[in-house]
Copies of this chain bind each other. A is one copy, B any other.
Amino acid sequence: RQYRNLVHFFVEDWFISAMLGIITAILSIIIDLGIEYLTHYRIELFHWAKHQSIYSGFVMWLSYITGLVWLAAVVCYVFGKQAVGSGIPEVKVIIHGFTMKNYLSLKTLIAKMVGLTFTIGSGLPVGKEGPFVHIGAIVASLLNKATSACQYNAFFSNEGRTMEMLSIGCAVGIACTFSAPMGAVLYGIESTSKYFAVKNYWRSFFATTCSAMIFRFAIAFIVPQHFAGTITAYYQTNFPNEVFVVEELPFFILLGTATGLLGALFIWYHRRISLFKKRNRVFKAMFGKSPLVFTTLIAALFAILSYPDGLGMYIAGKMTFRETLVDFLSNCTFSLSNISSNGCPQELIAHWTSSHLGADFHPLYTLTAYFCVYFLLIPICITLFIPTGVFVPCFVLGACGGRIVGEILSMWWPEGLRGLGHPQIYPGLYAVVGAASFTGSVTHSLSIALIVCETTGQLCALLPVLIALMVSNAICAFMQPSIYESIIKINNLPYLADLPPSRMSVHTMKVERIMVKDLVFITRETTYRELREILLESPGLRSYPFVTDKKSMTLLGSVGRKYLVYLVQRKLGPEPEFVSHRRRS
- Identify A198's interface contact among B8, B156, B181, B195, CB under 8 A: B195
Residues of B within 8 A of A216 (CB): 246, 463
Min C-beta distance of A242 to chain B, whole Å:
10
Q: List 5 contacting pairs A-B, 8 Å CB cutoff, sorted by A.
A: A5-B504, A190-B198, A209-B466, A212-B466, A220-B246
- In the assembled complex, the Cα of A189 lies from the Cα of B197 at a distance in Å of 10
Interface flag for A226 (CB, 8 Å): no
Min C-beta distance of A502 to chain B, whole Å:
4
Are A205 and B246 neighbours in the complex by a CB distance under 8 Å?
no
Report the nearest B residue to A247, measured CB to CB.
B220
Given contacts A241-B457, A453-B459, A502-B156, contact A470 B205 (CB under 8 A): yes
Residues of B within 8 A of A245 (CB): 220
Q: Scoring A residues 445 to 474 as 1 if CB is less than 8 Å from chain B, else 0, what string do you get?
A: 010011001100111101100110010010
A residues at B contact (CB < 8 Å): 1, 5, 8-9, 12, 152, 154-156, 158, 181-182, 186, 189-190, 193-199, 201-202, 205-206, 209, 212-213, 216-217, 220-221, 236, 241, 245-246, 249, 446, 449-450, 453-454, 457-460, 462-463, 466-467, 470, 473, 498, 502-505, 507-508
Are A503 and B5 neighbours in the complex by a CB distance under 8 Å?
yes
Min C-beta distance of A97 to chain B, whole Å:
16
Report the nearest B residue to A190, measured CB to CB.
B198
Residues of B within 8 A of A198 (CB): 189-190, 193-196
Are B217 and A470 neighbours in the complex by a CB distance under 8 Å?
no
Are A450 and B182 neighbours in the complex by a CB distance under 8 Å?
yes
Interface residue SS majority, chain A: helix
Residues of B within 8 A of A181 (CB): 462-463, 466
Are B459 and A454 neighbours in the complex by a CB distance under 8 Å?
yes
Min C-beta distance of A95 to chain B, whole Å:
12
Are A236 and B241 neighbours in the complex by a CB distance under 8 Å?
yes
Min C-beta distance of A527 to chain B, whole Å:
48
Report the nearest B residue to A215, measured CB to CB.
B463
Residues of B within 8 A of A449 (CB): 182, 205
Are B193 and A195 neighbours in the complex by a CB distance under 8 Å?
no
- In the assembled complex, the Cα of A245 lies from the Cα of B205 at a distance in Å of 22
Report the nearest B residue to A161, measured CB to CB.
B502
Residues of B within 8 A of A458 (CB): 457-459
Are B202 and A463 neighbours in the complex by a CB distance under 8 Å?
no
- In the assembled complex, the Cα of A35 lies from the Cα of B116 at a distance in Å of 57
Report the nearest B residue to A502, measured CB to CB.
B155
